[in-house]
Amino acid sequence: MDSFDLLVIGGGINGCAIARDAAGRGLSVLLVEKDDLASHTSSASSKLIHGGLRYLEQYDFKLVRESLHERETMLRTAPHIVHPLRFILPRPPGGRPWWMIRIGLMLYDLLAGRRSSLPRSRGVGKNDEAARAPLRDPAAKLAAYWDARVDDARLVVLNALDAQERGAEIATRTEFLSARRERDHWIAKLSGGRTVTARIIVNAAGPWVSEVLNGRLGEQGESRVRLVRGSHIAVPRLHDGDHAYILPQPDGRVVFVLPYGPNSLIGTTDAPTDRPDDAAIAPAETDYLCAAANAYLRRQVAPEDVIWSYAGIRALHDDGAAEASKITRDYRLELDDAPGAKLLSVFGGKLTTARALAIDTLDRLGIGGFKFTATSPLPGGQILPGFNAWMNELAKWMPAPMLDRLSRAYGTRLDRILDGVDSLADMGRHFGADLYEAEVRYLMTHEWARTAEDILWRRTKLGLGLAPKEQAALAAWLKQA
């Protein structure tokens, strides 16, 4: 029977960040995930690392300040997957006075601090055609501010990869079944007939946090979870340029229109649900998102224009807010006070603050050691000034768009995929778009990828680039590989 200091339940961003931090401080760690890493909420986000401008309206200054600090940390430690993104904010018709919007943005800049590497907010000039031309009212007052975009699923995988390289065991497709306390340790049963012991259990099961706590662990806690579905749609590009729009809505929410390759990503919604597996967009949400974009943008969109949609279930800490959109996005850590082996459950959290959540988790558990994650790059993130020249020399035979995608996904670890490769022919079988066998084999060997869905929709984000027949061919090849 294997013994560990820490058993982490859940392979989303919170669980993987906790496993990484704990392993880096010398703990023996086992992380179990019943499906693939980032297969639920963590890959169904708006794909942003941001301070949360709208949280200022809820006076959640602590969350905004922490998120902006974490944004800066992520830009520094994961520069290959986290990139600055300019947002254009139009004044809503009949909405808040312009002076109030500008004060809010000034406060956002202030909370970001003087050390922020991103530009300060500013008004948008009348001659800024890129920002104004896509709008129905190009003469409207506009403001611009900066946040960052991220490859959400790769952020999760890179945390898991770093955890593994620091000694953790990452067990995907492994379900936590039950556990019982035996004085100073837990005896946990996992799928596949495996039983392990652990001094500490961290329940980071996301939408299933209460099910694990109350059902599989048989414990009761004070915190409650509110399940809220957030949905997105992808449509053909609604604007040119590499900037995004943040569009205030009459219901007090905001909707993003984000560049996503040749498409636009529109989201998100706040739809209460009672089921953690209710991750499918409803027709009313599609209508809402189309209307939200159409109110501001010249290029109109209808439900029949949607080429892809996805939804994720946010497991928010229930703070008693009446409306789903008003529930705090901050997290709550609940440490069970029963004697003996420790149990901590994670309620809430977001991509941006997962690193800070991991530090707080270990602090609550009384675990010391050097807090390394603020300065240690994630795998592939050791980007130095000569990176572009090195990359171009490494793969001078590769088409530029393909090299750009691979460098943004793997950073300085691109050479591990291209070891012994000097041409596209050396990359092996071509599955479609710019996906080749060499990359697929790397993902299978080093990043826990097993299925076509793992590879196309989480590891590479090429799902929209391969035709159904190509996706089926990849799935068939994987079964025989």
User: Mind listing the domains of the chain with CATH numbers?
Assistant: 2-42+153-223+328-364 (3.50.50.60), 84-149+226-326 (3.30.9.10), 387-480 (1.10.8.870)
Question: Which sign does the torsion angle of CA 293, 295, 300, 306 carry?
Answer: positive
pTM exceeds cut of 0.95 = yes
The radius of gyration of the chain from alpha carbons, rounded to an integer in Å, stands at 22
Burial class (CB within 10 angstroms; exposed 0-12, middle 13-18, buried 19+) of 448: buried
Q: At what angle do helices 387-394 and 400-410 cross, to 10 degrees?
A: 120
Residues 6 or more apart in contact with residue 48 via CB below 8 angstroms:
85, 147, 148, 149, 150, 256, 258, 351, 352
Mode of pairing for the β-strands spanning 254-260 and 169-172: unpaired
Which pLDDT score, from 0 to 100, does residue 322 have? 58
- Backbone dihedral region for residue 49 (phi beyond 0: left; psi -120 to 50: alpha; all else: beta): beta
**Is 81:150 a contact under the CB 8 Å cutoff?**
yes
Which pLDDT score, from 0 to 100, does residue 97 have? 85
Helix (H, G, I), strand (E, B) or coil at 235: strand
Per-residue pLDDT tens digits of the chain, which is 481 residues long? 899 999 999 999 999 999 999 999 999 999 999 999 999 999 999 999 999 998 988 889 999 999 999 999 999 999 999 999 999 999 988 777 889 899 999 999 999 999 999 999 999 999 999 999 999 999 999 999 999 999 999 999 999 999 999 999 999 999 999 999 998 999 999 999 999 999 999 999 999 999 999 999 988 877 788 999 999 999 999 999 999 999 999 998 999 999 999 999 999 999 999 999 989 999 999 999 999 999 999 999 999 999 999 999 999 987 777 576 667 778 999 999 788 999 999 999 999 999 999 999 999 999 999 999 999 999 999 998 999 999 999 999 999 999 999 999 999 999 999 999 999 999 999 999 999 999 999 999 999 999 999 999 999 999 999 999 999 999 999 999 8
- Backbone dihedral region for residue 167 (phi beyond 0: left; psi -120 to 50: alpha; all else: beta): left
Residues 6 or more apart in contact with residue 463 via CB below 8 angstroms:
308, 453, 456, 457, 471
DSSP run (H or E) holding 284: helix 283-294
Mode of pairing for the β-strands spanning 254-260 and 244-248: antiparallel
Indicate the residue type of 388.
Answer: N
Which pLDDT score, from 0 to 100, does residue 325 have? 64
DSSP state of 140: S
Q: At what angle do helices 152-165 and 13-24 cross, to 10 degrees?
A: 30
Give the CA distances from residue 211 to residues 5, 277, 342, in Å, rounded to whole numbers and listed in that order: 23, 12, 18
Task: Return the structure tokens found at 60.
Answer: 């959640």
Task: Return the structure tokens found at 286.
Answer: 């599609």
**Is 147:49 a contact under the CB 8 Å cutoff?**
yes
Q: Give me the phi and psi of 334, to 5 degrees please.
A: -115, 115
Which pLDDT score, from 0 to 100, does residue 319 have? 77
Which pLDDT score, from 0 to 100, does residue 306 have? 98
Task: Return the structure tokens found at 256.
Answer: 């993003």
Task: Return the structure tokens found at 262.
Answer: 């040749």
**Is 382:362 a contact under the CB 8 Å cutoff?**
no
